[in-house]
Amino acid sequence: MQPHVLVVEDEDALAELLQYNLKKEGFRVTVAADGEEAMILVDERQPDIILLDWMLPKVSGIEVCRRLRGRQETRNIPIIMLTARGEEADRIRGLDTGADDYIIKPFLMNELFARVRAILRRIRPGLADDKVVVGEISIDRVAHRVSRAGRDIHLGPTEFRLLDYFMQHPGRVFSREQLLDAVWGSDVYVEARTVDVHVGRLRKALNNGHETDPIRTVRSAGYALNAE
């Protein structure tokens, strides 16, 4: 599954350049032009990493970073600050506010991509690796293979994407709407109950011959993949 990058940049030319090059590198990209829009987009669908400009209209990048770090549901989203402010005091302030990295404009695209990948490998290895293991379950994105306790599991494409997303965030509860947006996409209309059908199919495939169901149903909240 493509890592989702939120670019928060008010300079249209730079925002378009980042979007174009990130897509070429295999990322899924959303763009916000100011701090308020960024907060709304994060609430609608959490990105895997944020590229955040310091000087933004309405709400500054520093304030966006502070607010995200102050909320339980967003405090672990990786953030790279992009700014023309190169003084040491500014870099320290950005990092102290909660940024994971700090890049001074102008910058080389290849350097930015290398830093994005390095942070994803460190903080969210499930997005950077071709093979991911959670408990007894293993997924190989290149070979498109899944196994549990050494037993091969055959999944349809939707169930594969659904399991892949769960394995990126073990233990986290997702609502039907969040799963629809992440797995099917926000531009496709699918009824929320469709998620139940595909979760049922995924469960049936994973649980064949096993007593423990790795997918947990949380009443009135959604579904989660148990971390162990």
Length of the chain: 228
pLDDT above 90 coverage of the chain, percent: 36
Q: What is the pLDDT of residue 188?
A: 65
Task: Check pLDDT > 70 for residue 160.
Answer: yes
Q: What is the pLDDT of residue 186?
A: 63
Q: What is the pLDDT of residue 13?
A: 93
Higher pLDDT, 188 or 3: 3
For the residues 1-22, what does the mean pLDDT come to?
90
For the residues 190-197, what does the mean pLDDT come to?
86
Q: What is the pLDDT of residue 171?
A: 86
The distance from CA 123 to its chain's CA centroid, rounded to whole angstroms, is 11
Least confident of 23-27, 55-59, 156-160: 23-27
Least confident of 15-19, 32-36, 165-169, 183-187: 183-187
pLDDT band at 108 (very low <50, low <70, confident <90, very high): confident
Q: What single string gives the DSSP state of each residue in 147-215?
A: EETTEEE---HHHHHHHHHHHHSTT--B-HHHHIIIII-TTS---THHHHHHHHHHHHHHHTT-S--SE
> Average model confidence (pLDDT) for the chain?
86
Task: Please indicate, yes or no, whether the overall pTM of this predicted structure exceeds 0.85.
Answer: no
DSSP SS3 for 93: helix
Of the candidates 11, 40, 26, which has an alpha carbon nearest to the alpha carbon of residue 120?
A: 26
Q: What single string gives the DSSP state of each residue in 64-86?
A: HHHHHHTSTTTTTS-EEEEES--
Q: What is the pLDDT of residue 49?
A: 93
Farthest-apart Cα atoms in the chain, separation: 60
CA dihedral 68, 71, 72, 73 (to 10 degrees): -60
* Contact (Cβ atoms closer than 8 angstroms) between residue 7 and residue 48: no
Instruction: Please name the amino acid found at residue 63.
Output: E
> Tokens in use for 59?
């709400």
Task: Check pLDDT > 80 for residue 217.
Answer: yes
